[in-house]
Amino acid sequence: MIDLHTHSFFSDGVLVPSELVRRAEHKGLTAIGITDHGDLSNIDFIIPRIVAVAEQLNQVLAIKVIPGIELTHVPPAHIALAARQARDLGARIIIVHGETLVEPVAPGTNHAAIMSDIDILAHPGLIEEPDVILARERGVLLEITARKGHSLSNGHVAALAKKHGTKLVINTDSHAPGDLVDSVFARNVVLGAGLSGQDFEVMQENARCFLQR
């Protein structure tokens, strides 16, 4: 199981990175992305610290730790700039907090994110069909999420991605120990979105291919 979207206490998670990684390893994960919430005010603080701890943990653990950021409630006009800065600071995963149904994310965030140098558009809500096509063309992964609330639009995202051949990943968006899941639960989330067990395997392969870039 690979989970590319989690949070530590560097944003609104409750665990230090080392404990988050250990708990993920105990769940059977083989790779984890630590992608705390950030914007132009704090990415220069968060990313170097996650990069440093990832380097240290990767020297002694079997689970792979990937440093990243989730650009969150960044105005659409600033997403490209924030993504460039995050990449320069060493983020290997750049996620944008998409237009979830349960938060007042600015309209146009999904489109601006896809047009920027990002890797994953998280919980994109009722993403419009042209943006799903654009994500396929630009190699942006769309997220199926195990996170309560954000998962309300999983079926919509899954159906449009399947229709247009846009690549998907399954992530937890974990903030606390109870949010982490094993591969059995993650597979059930995928099935609940109207996809198949084979789709779950493809999503995990998409995550593995991303890690090999």
Q: Return per-residue pLDDT of the chain as tens, 213 residues.
A: 999 999 999 999 999 999 999 999 999 999 999 999 999 999 999 999 999 999 999 999 999 999 999 999 999 999 999 999 999 999 999 999 999 999 999 999 999 999 999 999 999 999 999 999 999 999 999 999 999 999 999 999 999 999 999 999 999 999 999 999 999 999 999 999 999 999 999 999 999 999 998
CATH number assigned to the domain with residue range 2-211, chosen from the 4 options 3.10.129.10, 3.60.10.10, 3.20.20.140, 3.40.50.300: 3.20.20.140
Annotated domain spans of the chain? 2-211
> Which residue do the tokens 């609104």 mark?
12
Residue 167: which residues within 8 A CB-CB, separation 6 or more?
136, 139, 141, 142, 161, 206
Short-list 122, 70, 77, CA closest to 91: 70
Strand, helix or coil at 144? strand
CB-based burial label for 21 (10 Å; 0-12, 13-18, 19+): buried
Q: What region does 88 belong to: left with phi over 0, alpha with psi -120 to 50, or beta?
A: alpha
pTM exceeding 0.95: yes
